[in-house]
Structure 1
Amino acid sequence: MKRAASTLAVICALGLAATGCSDATGSSSGAAPTGTVDATASLKGVKLTMWVAQNSVAEPKQVIDAFEKATGATVTTEVIPDPYESNVPTKLASGVKPDLMFWQPTGSTLPFIQPQTNLLQLDNEDWVSKLGKTEQSLGQVDGHRYAAIVTSPAVLGVYYNKAAFKKAGITTMPTSYDDMLADAAKIKAKVPGVAPFFEVGGDKWPLQWQVQAQLTDLPASFWDNLNKNKASWTDPVVVKAITKYKTQLLDAGLAQKNYKTATFVDQGKALLDGSAAMALNVTSLQSEIQASSSTQEMDEKLGWFPIANSSATAEYSPDQTNGVVAFKSGDSKRETAARQFMSFWLGEDYPAYVKANKVVSVESSVPNPDGLPQTAVAQAKALSSAAGVFQVKALTAPDMHLALADMIYGKKTPKQVAQAAEDQFDQVLKARGVAGF
């Protein structure tokens, strides 16, 4: 999903974690087997269920159709209503499980579905070694793999309108967050009627990205200490990033006038029609624009560059379409079939899958499909050196975007935004029984 997992909404479902929900199957350890899988072996009569989000219902269609044809199995998708990240744990807590499911493969979100209790281990699957470096780092909890990575994580960077940059005389891309703000000020001064940035207060979730980009200089030790309750979201660096977003971007008039109510769809339209010069967002914005325009139009009008606090480096942000997990069912045939489905997906079917879905490949041996916009090519190139967003680094990801939405309406100060993140972080980790909280 393009939104970060809504952890506050999930707390009500954390009885799943707090009670140590037992494995109802009893007969399956879920341990990772060894050896290769015959991905097209007959599975006639085997029926699998896969949970998907409303915005990812079409994602597995190609591979499901091909797998059913190759094996004789039946794979039925079931749409879980939004918000997916909170409704899934709630449904699992009721005792219902699918065989397969899309799920965000991060250390902050995998724990919500109790992987050690509920999921099959995938440590030794034949596709693991095929994954790229960044993709291999995802999908693991406590040293064990529980998710197959089928698409690259979303890449965070800046989409820009080429004509607006040309009018402002910007010929080289910024190499730090402050450089980007300076370019935004130049656009405001030299290109009347064009908003330097397009911000999305209406949908809220993209508000976090301007802050996330500024947190990239925080050392690994900060996140280690945060996860041990020895550091806090109220750290001056975090408060400074939130404050800079408010005072030097929003209050300085570097966003469009309706930034408090504008939507994600509005952002793509404004970027394409040139009424906005820049949008800091993840790959889902590219998909949104791509749905209503051609690759040729995108290449003509839009560019993309990576940005971090003090460098020209991107960030990556996994979402639920990147990862697929398989559940312990107690039925060895279904569990074997689920593993076989993943092996088929990331094996012989993968070239057809990336072509049908027009996505960047996660395997170096499988080339990207033809016809991708240059923004997608640039993001794929930037991924290998990208840093993870806080959904990757923190044990749980607070809904900072909700507190930032309160801030833009004058209901919270930057310090209160940081405190809200800290309070939620503590609350969730206490509910999960994490040591030190």
Structure 2
Amino acid sequence: MTSISKNRRRRGALAAGALATVLAATAACSNSMGAAGSSGGGTADSSLFGGPAVTGVTLTVWHNTADPQALLDLYKAYEKESGNTIQLVDIPASTFPTTVQTKWATGARPDILEWHGNRTDLLSLNGSQTMVDLSSMSFVAKEGQLATLSGSLDGKTYAATIGMPTVFGLFYNKSVLAKAGLSVPKSYADLAADCTVLKAKDPGVIPLYEAGASGWPQQVLSSFDYVAQYNTGDSYASSILSGKTKLNDPNGPIVKGLEAYESLKAAGCFNSDATTGTWETSLKYVLSGKAAMVANGSDSVPMLDADADGDTATVDAAVGFTGVSATSSVAGYAPSPLGTYYVPKTGNTTKERAAIQFIEYVTGAGYGSYIQQAGTIPTLSGTATPKMQGLMQEIDTAYRNGATLTWNSQIPGSGNFGPESGKLLAGQETPQAVADKIEAYYTQASAAAGD
């Protein structure tokens, strides 16, 4: 645990386009800190909302260590404005989902939880019973449709999402592809063809870096990217939820994506240590040109910037981003855990009220400054989009040009896909066997959730 009021945390994960100055405290915040809820009501415990500002308390925050500097500075600004102390509990980015779930299962609770907004991830923490309903707060209307997708169950909003959604696609080293005479891939056929060319022309370069040791990156290439084009309007996920199709249909996109992934592995497209490779190494390699490509999400940009010592121009010159799917250039997206905040029910009314007032601050008085410093896409309406670094602009373009919600965002039990696809990477399972297990997990989790 680290108190950022005593020790300013300078992380490697710098925000894209971060400003050199500390986030300034916003004027007139004292009024906003005491008005945590809108006048609409409808929350499970209205006594937690409104009333005088809570001061002089320490709030523990379970946070992802990949938080960009802009979020760390936002915590600092809240401390200065509120008189409260934020005590950060580091959850390693490389093991974030499993670490949170393991701690949660012991009964431990923070005052504020930074966590995924996906329905399936909220269900994994029994969110409707363990989180404070924030539906009456004023940020919900500003989030618009995002409030129904991120941190939402049964029409209620349990999270404030100030970080832009994670956009999944392909990071690539521009000079490596250019040297090999390759254009930017758009499909999995392109990936396979580019792999063949790269192996012949530049055998010292890894065509596609895979990070099996981190536990979750492999599911990006094996499913998130491949399936993206099939989930327009959440159509594929809806067909699963309605029972019209199954996740393990032999000719369905999940099985076909896993088969395409296995084919890339069999063709020698991955690094030789794919099962022990890490997310952090994958970014270093694509930035330096040791790897041509890596499939991952936009949350990786702060780490890329950090690898370049904060020189975003160097990153922009070296690395590009594109959507890539089964047969066309479509990106996927999902609510990001970075900057998605919940208020767990702890039984401590004073701290729950203070945590709600934290939510009001980061979605209100502190939000505009955060967005400008982060150089990222606003999630709340009425906020000006700041100047973004070139790589983030490419990601924004992919997001706005038909990106689809990742298939797993609404599917209970899909949190097991990462470990199961890891077994495929290790040669321990077949694509069909992985899909069969995911279908079984979904059936069990859906029944438990009452779907």
TM-score computed with the length of structure 2 as normaliser:
0.78
Please report how far the alpha carbon of residue 373 of structure 1 lies from its aligned counterpart in structure 2 after TM superposition.
Answer: 3.3
Pairs within 5 Å for 1:76-225 = 76-79=87-90, 83-89=95-101, 91-92=103-104, 95-131=107-143, 133-134=145-146, 137-171=149-183, 173-212=184-223, 213-218=225-230, 220=234, 222-225=236-239
Q: CA deviation at 1:60?
A: 4.5
Contact kept, 8 Å, 2:205 with 2:291, in 1: the verdict is yes
Please show how residues 242-281 of structure 1 align to structure 2 within 5 Å: 242-247=258-263, 249-281=264-296
Q: What corresponds to 2:300 in structure 1?
A: 285
**Do 1:42 and 1:72's aligned partners in 2 also have CA atoms closer than 8 Å?**
no
Between the aligned residues of both structures, percent identity stands at: 27
Give the C-alpha shift of residue 342 in structure 1.
1.1
Task: Give SS of 2:317's match.
Answer: helix
**Deviation string, structure 1 residues 141-164 (Cα, Å, up to 9, x no partner):** 011111100201211111111112
1:61 alignment partner AA:
L
Post-superposition shift, 1:308?
2.2
Say how many residue pairs are matched: 401
Q: Check the 8 A contact 1:138/1:149 in 2, yes or no.
A: yes
For 1:325, which of 321, 324, 342 is the aligned residue? 342
Distance 2:98 2:257 in 1: 28
Provide the rounded CA distance (Å) in 1 between the counterparts of 2:286 and 2:106.
Answer: 44
Q: Which residue of 1 aligns with 2:429?
A: 412
User: Is the contact between residue 105 and residue 322 of structure 1 (CA under 8 Å) also seen in structure 2?
Assistant: no
Structure 2: gaps (5+ residues): 1-41
Shift of 1:307: 1.7
Q: What's the offset of the Cα at 1:181?
A: 3.1
CA contact (8 A) 1:62 1:356 kept: no
Moved more, 94-103 or 268-277: 94-103
Q: In structure 2, how many angstroms separate the alpha carbons of the residues matched to 1:138 and 1:182?
A: 37
Match of 1:297?
314
8 Å CA contact 1:30–1:119 kept in 2: the answer is no
Separation (CA, whole Å) in 2 of partners of 1:87 and 1:206: 16
Amino acid at match of 1:157: G
Note if 1:373 corresponds to 2:373.
Answer: no
Residues 282 and 317 of structure 1 are in contact (CA less than 8 Å); yes or no, is this contact kept in structure 2?
Answer: no
Verify the 8 A CA contact 1:57 1:79 in the aligned structure 2: no
CA contact (8 A) 1:315 1:389 kept: yes
Question: Which of 61, 82, 88 is residue 71 of structure 1 equivalent to?
Answer: 82
Q: Please tell me the residue identity of whatever aligns with 2:227.
A: L
How far the C-alpha of 1:120 sits from its partner, in A, is 1.9
Q: TM-score, normalised by structure 1?
A: 0.80
- CA distance in structure 2 between the aligned counterparts of 1:117 and 1:408, rounded to whole angstroms: 36
Q: 1:135 to 1:313 in 2, by over 3 A?
A: farther
Quick check: 1:104–1:320 contact (8 Å CA) kept in 2? Answer: yes
Please give the per-residue CA displacement for 1:147-189, whole angstroms capped at 9, x wherever unaligned. Answer: 1002012111111111122122234x34433234333333334
Structure 1 residue matching 2:365: 3-state secondary structure: coil
Q: Contact between 1:158 and 1:278, CA under 8 Å: does it hold in 2?
A: yes
5+ residue gaps, structure 1, are: 1-28
- Secondary structure (helix, strand or coil) at the match of 1:108 reads helix
The more displaced of 140-149 and 229-238 is: 229-238
Check 1:334–1:379 CA distance in 2 against 1; reply closer, same or farther (3 A cut). Answer: same
Within 2, Cα distance between the matches of 1:221 and 1:44? 47
Alignment-mate amino acid for residue 359 of structure 2: M
